[in-house]
Amino acid sequence: MFPSPVVAPVSVHASLVRQALCLEWITAGWMLIEAAVAIGSGATSRSLSLIAFGADSLIELASAGVLLWRLDVEMRRGADFPECVELRASRIGGVLLFGGAAYVVISATYGLWVRRGQEFSTPGFAVAVLAIPVMWCLAKAKMRIAD
């Protein structure tokens, strides 16, 4: 026999979904800042790498939007959460990730083709360095809620 999964009481589940929504709003805010700084400083310094980083942030922002929608549906419907919403959100997220990967490959190939070097950008460097601890902390918090 397989052990049955542990199911949280409705009030605990709703609290966890609210916490997940809050973390996802923070993630979306960070992705918006990251995209604006990376694309802006990338355009100013003519850095294809920074522009690609910013475009990736926009794709992650769209993915966060999908998750916000999914969590909002779960919040409103609670136990009646339809599996088709989960499936749709997973598919949209997958398409966005493949789109991001394709963009990075195409932009890198273009950069190699035109043999354009990358210029340094202080704001771009700052946002890239900040992205690591910010996303790491958000990921840890999300994993804690998911468990």
Q: What is the pLDDT along the chain (147 residues), one digit of tens a residue?
A: 445 455 556 688 788 889 999 999 999 999 999 999 999 988 888 777 788 888 888 988 988 888 898 888 888 877 566 777 778 878 888 888 788 788 778 877 887 888 766 667 788 888 888 988 998 998 899 889 887
DSSP output for 55-120: HHHHHHHHHHHHHHHHHHHHHHHGGG--HHHHHHHHHHHHHHHHHHHHHHHHHHHHHHHHTPPPPP
The pLDDT score that the predictor gives to residue 2 is 47
| Contacts (Cβ under 8 Å, ≥6 apart) of 53 | 34, 38, 42, 124, 128
The pLDDT score that the predictor gives to residue 137 is 92
The pLDDT score that the predictor gives to residue 24 is 92
The pLDDT score that the predictor gives to residue 8 is 55
The pLDDT score that the predictor gives to residue 72 is 86
Torsion of CA 61, 65, 70, 75, to 10 degrees: 110
The pLDDT score that the predictor gives to residue 112 is 80
The pLDDT score that the predictor gives to residue 36 is 94
